[in-house]
Structure 1
Amino acid sequence: MAKNSFQYSSLPEEETMPHHFNATNTTSSSMHLQELPANCYALEFQEPFEGFAEFEDKASAADSSHNHRQAEKRRRDRINGQLARLRRLIPKSEKMDKAALLERVVEQVKDLKRKASEISKIFTIPSEIDDITIECHRKENHPNNNNNNNNNNNSNSNIMFMKATLCCEDRPDLIPELIRELKDLNLTVIGADIGCLGGRMKSILLLYYKLDSNNDGVVCNVSAIKQSLMGVLTRIISWSSASTSSFRVTSKRQRFFFSS
């Protein structure tokens, strides 16, 4: 290799090359380089030693195996942590194996779900899903031989009772807004049951709708009133859902009294 360096250094540089250096000299120099022994360049083009590729593969396999072991260890630690948390929640579960522990947890969850369903039938507890239900009951006039009750029957024939259930995100101005919208629909609140839990609200409203005195003989359009009420409640739910991103109820709900 030193011989090659000597031959390259003996060649004239481009800047110091004399003007009389012609093509014949260049050709002779090139021929002189071509006549160098081929083994001078053996080290420059020699392939890496055979054991290097095998060593690199073994190192890569060792790294992959180490990463896999670490990931598996983290997974086992996470599972064991969750199982330890379940053991603290389930009484007398210190000596249970994993299968028995999970079976006991499933039974416990089913029992809690059943109890929650029973409690929701007694108390007004909001759910996690926005929901609206409306039930309409119109009191019709039935023939009666007693003339003293004719006026009462005629007045009751123009009254429709409604039960509206609303479940949505809670916010401070929800109840006043709901009352205002109901008044715009000429709906009167005769009863209300409201429950709030975890930023959610469930409201069960008993309403009635009465036609004006000049509308005697006009059939009450139940579907139109129901559709209007559904639109109002849907709009209120959409406003509540949009406002929860920037506001969250943290205090107890103020008590609002419905005006008669």
Structure 2
Amino acid sequence: TDKASLLAEVVHHVRELKRQVEDVGRRDRDGCCSNSRPELDTSWPFPGECDEATLSFCDEGGKLLKATICCEDRPGLNHDLSRVIRLVQAKVVRAEMTTVGGRTKSVVVMQWSGDEEQVGPLKRALKDVVENRVSRLAQGTGSKRARVFGSNSETGHGFLVG
């Protein structure tokens, strides 16, 4: 084979791999917990380049919730994430974490006792974890007074960090 045909074959192969990666990424965004058994969920396990926090229901009864965060890896990230989960009194069913090149993706499936109206504050709290605001909010100026975390000015809903 000549160089031109070899190059054409490589380009074709790279395009095919790129298409497969896009398909997997699309399935990750669209599929959430599409299976009735979360342990069978197969999604892209690696962190992306964008910081994000997503939250979605995994079952029709709204009792299983999947939280996915993707951000720069940092000390205290898991502590902040577990603090948010404790604050909403959810029970972790499954947790996966992947760190590659200084970026982390954490996927947590939890039993949720709240209703859909309470998801907004949880989503904001997860966004605060991604943006590394939880530790700073909790540390504050050293005051022992509890602070409202992830509050919504319209509803007043939030979580206390003490």
Task: Give me the whole-angstrom Cα distance separating, in 1, the residues matched to 2:75 and 2:20.
Answer: 30
In structure 2, relative to structure 1, the CA distance for the partners of 1:238 and 1:191 (3 Å cut) is: same
Structure with greater strand share of residues: 2
Q: C-alpha offsets along residues 15-34 of structure 1, whole Å, 9 cap, x if unaligned?
A: xxxxxxxxxxxxxxxxxxxx
Q: Which letter does structure 2 place at the counterpart of 1:199?
A: G
Percent identity over the alignment?
28
Considering Cα pairs closer than 8 Å and 6+ residues apart, tell me whether 1 or 2 has the greater RCO.
2
CA drift of 1:131 comes to 2.5
Listed as ranges, the gaps of 5+ residues in structure 2 are: 29-41, 134-162
State the partner residue of 1:187: 90
Task: Give me the whole-angstrom Cα distance separating, in 1, the residues matched to 2:77 and 2:128.
Answer: 11
In structure 2, relative to structure 1, the CA distance for the partners of 1:138 and 1:168 (3 Å cut) is: same
Q: 2:11 aligns with which of 92, 106, 118?
A: 106
Task: Give me the whole-angstrom Cα distance separating, in 2, the residues matched to 1:118 and 1:162.
Answer: 21
Number of aligned residue pairs: give it.
Answer: 116
State the partner residue of 2:68: 165
Q: Which letter does structure 2 place at the counterpart of 1:175?
A: N
Q: State whether structure 2 residue 130 is matched by structure 1 residue 237.
A: yes
Q: C-alpha offsets along residues 171-200 of structure 1, whole Å, 9 cap, x if unaligned?
A: 121001110121112222121011111111
State the partner residue of 2:55: 134
Whether the aligned pair in 1 keeps the contact of 2:24 and 2:44 (CA below 8 Å) is no
Structure with greater helix share of residues: 1
CA drift of 1:118 comes to 5.5
In structure 2, relative to structure 1, the CA distance for the partners of 1:118 and 1:230 (3 Å cut) is: closer
CA drift of 1:138 comes to 5.8
Alignment of 1:14-163 (within 5 A): 95-97=2-4, 100=5, 103-114=8-19, 116=21, 121=42, 124-136=45-57, 137=59, 139=61, 160-163=63-66
Q: 1:226 aligns with which of 115, 119, 127?
A: 119
Q: Which letter does structure 1 place at the counterpart of 2:80?
A: E
- Partner of 2:112, secondary structure, is strand
TM-score scaled by length of structure 1: 0.38
Task: Give me the whole-angstrom Cα distance separating, in 2, the residues matched to 1:180 and 1:134.
Answer: 16
In structure 2, relative to structure 1, the CA distance for the partners of 1:221 and 1:118 (3 Å cut) is: closer
CA drift of 1:115 comes to 5.2
Q: 2:108 aligns with which of 205, 222, 225?
A: 205
Task: Give me the whole-angstrom Cα distance separating, in 1, the residues matched to 2:88 and 2:43.
Answer: 30
TM-score scaled by length of structure 2: 0.58
Q: Looking at CA atoms only, which structure, 1 or 2, has the larger radius of gyration? A: 1
Task: Give me the whole-angstrom Cα distance separating, in 1, the residues matched to 2:127 and 2:111.
Answer: 20
